[in-house]
């Protein structure tokens, strides 16, 4: 594998990758997408979440009491 390729951080995350990044389960991620709170893109059968959209989603969550 090319050394530079291993250092590339992908901008589009699969649902599983988005779950791992934020520590939220698949069901909650899909609920956030279906309610419009989290933006997702489709490419063929794949659902992708952009890192910026994931950050915006997290920033929009209410603070803990």
Render pLDDT for 11-52 as a digit per residue (tens, 0 to 9).
999 999 999 999 999 999 999 999 999 999 999 999 999 999
**Stated pTM of the model:** 0.81
Contacts 24+ apart (CB under 8 A), 11-19: 11/50, 11/51, 11/52, 12/41, 12/48, 12/49, 12/50, 12/51, 13/48, 13/49, 13/50, 13/51, 13/54, 14/46, 14/47, 14/48, 14/49, 15/47, 15/49, 18/49, 18/54
Residue 65: pLDDT above 90?
no
Give CATH for domain 11-60: 1.10.1660.10
Residue 1: pLDDT above 60?
no
Q: What is the pLDDT of residue 5?
A: 65
């Amino acid at each position: 594998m090319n050394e530079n390729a291993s250092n590339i951080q992908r901008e589009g995350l699969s649902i599983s990758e988005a779950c791992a990044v934020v520590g939220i389960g698949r069901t909650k991620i899909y609920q956030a997408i279906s309610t419009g709170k989290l933006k997702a893109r489709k490419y063929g059968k794949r659902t992708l979440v952009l890192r910026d959209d994931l950050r915006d989603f997290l920033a929009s969550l209410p603070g803990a009491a």
